[in-house]
Amino acid sequence: MSFDSSAFGANSAGGVGGGAGADAELQEFLAMESQKAKFQAQIHQFTDVCWDKCVDKAGAKLDSKTETCLTNCVERFIDTTFTVTQRFQQLLERQQAM
């Protein structure tokens, strides 16, 4: 993985230029990386919860009961997360409207 310093406003003399523009780019980059980390953490949480709930014995292949359980578990987890996220968004919008 290579690092392109020009993405953060580095000038050819090796310093950082661009002022607020570079700061905004860095903040956007950090926000995107934070979102990626949150998404990965969510995936790990799905895996842990649904594995513990659905898998009795690990084998070379999942039986249909285990596969169905895992599918339902992840779908319910996603549905619940989506519902909670929507609710928080509604509360935030109400607070901002006041």
Class of domain 5-97: mainly alpha
Domain ranges of the chain: 5-97
DSSP state of 56: S
b/e per residue 49-59 (b: at least 16 CB within 10 A): ebeeebeeeee
> H helices then E strands: how many in the chain?
2, 0
Residues 5-47 have pLDDT tens digits of 444 444 444 445 556 778 888 999 999 999 899 888 988 888 8
Residue 39 has a pLDDT of: 85
Residues 65-82 have pLDDT tens digits of 999 999 999 899 889 989
